[in-house]
Structures are given as C-alpha cells and as structure tokens.
Amino acid sequence: MNPLRPGASDSDEFRGFEEARTLMWCYEDRSRTHARLNQTDFLTDESVVAVHVENTTRADRVFLSAFDREGRLLRGDTLYVDYANQRLDVTAEFDHDYTGMAVPEGSELKEAVARENGWVIDMHTLREYDPLEDRRTTQRAVLLAHLGDMMANGEARGFLLGKHDAAEDPGDAADTDAA
C-alpha cells in the first residue's frame, strides 16, 4: 500500500496503471495550483515573486500571502475551499524547495517558511507553466504507462506514435513511429 495515496498498491500486476494514476494526480495538482492562483491577481503581478500558501489552520479556506523579491509581504488573499478538489496542497513542481528559489535571510518570507504551516509557491515557475502543454504531455505519458500493461495482457500488439493528420494519405506515415 502506498502511504502517499490511499488505495494505491505496489503490485507489479498493474504497474502501468499505478504509474498512470500517479501521473494524473501530479497533473491535477499542477493544474489546480495554476487555476486557483489564476483566481487572484498574483499570477499577473510581476512584483509577486513568491506566495505563501497557509493551508493548515482552516479546512474551508486557504490564506495566501504575496511576497516581493526582497521577501517583503506585499498583500494577502483568501481562497475558499468549497470542494475537496479545490485544496492547495503542496505541488512539488512549484514549491520553492523543489525549484531552489532563494529565500532572503531575515525577511518576512523567511519567517513564513519557518512557521511550517503551509508551503511557498515560486511564482516564476508557476508563470512559465503551460496548462495545455502539460495536459498533452500528461496524456501521452499516461498512454505510455498503460501500454506495458496492455501489451502484457494481449490487449495491444502494436501501436503508432506520432502526429498523423487523417486528411493526409493514410499510407504516408513519415513522422509516425511504429512498434
């Protein structure tokens, strides 16, 4: 049983399924973080370098604090959590620890990090995030994760990968890989 995700197992029988499920959870986390921060003006305000997400004191809301380059508090915002899929849990790809974002010593941001009651979003990384590209990449990765299981079960014997326009000659698959 995987302690990070309830119901997940470490069985080799459906390894591709488990991998695909993990890929989808990570995609959903990234997508949710981007969508929720897009509900604020923090995403468009270039002076906001980091956002502290305080998600531990209340289950029904998330308190956000925006910080500038020097780690000074700029302003705050509150996002309400009406449904479980609106929570802003740690998204590693945007977390300041994962991205290596510097936290100025002695700053208000450093104090927020030290309280350990949430996590910090590196806004530079979040602004570079392309939801559409992430969706496409995740879809392809999920398919590839399932492919091993499908081939092992005899559900797939071969496949084509690539960009092939149906309007093109069906026999012309120059940019398609077959296996």
Distance, in Å, from the CA atom of 53 to the CA atom of 119, rounded to the nearest integer, reads 5
* Average of per-residue pLDDT across 12-39: 86
pLDDT value, residue 59: 85
Domain locations along the chain: 38-129
Residue 161, pLDDT above cutoff 70: no
Tokens read off for 86: 């609106």
The pLDDT assigned to 93 comes to 94
pLDDT tens digit sequence for 88-116: 889 999 999 999 999 999 999 999 999 98
For residue 18, what pLDDT is reported? Answer: 82
Q: What is the DSSP letter of 157?
A: S
Average pLDDT over every residue of 7-34? 78
What distance in Å separates the CA atoms of residue 179 and residue 166, rounded to the nearest whole number? 20
What is d(CA 62, CA 117) in angstroms, rounded to the nearest whole number? 11
More confident residue, 153 or 66: 66
**What pLDDT is recorded for position 141?**
86
Is residue 154 scored above 90 in pLDDT? no
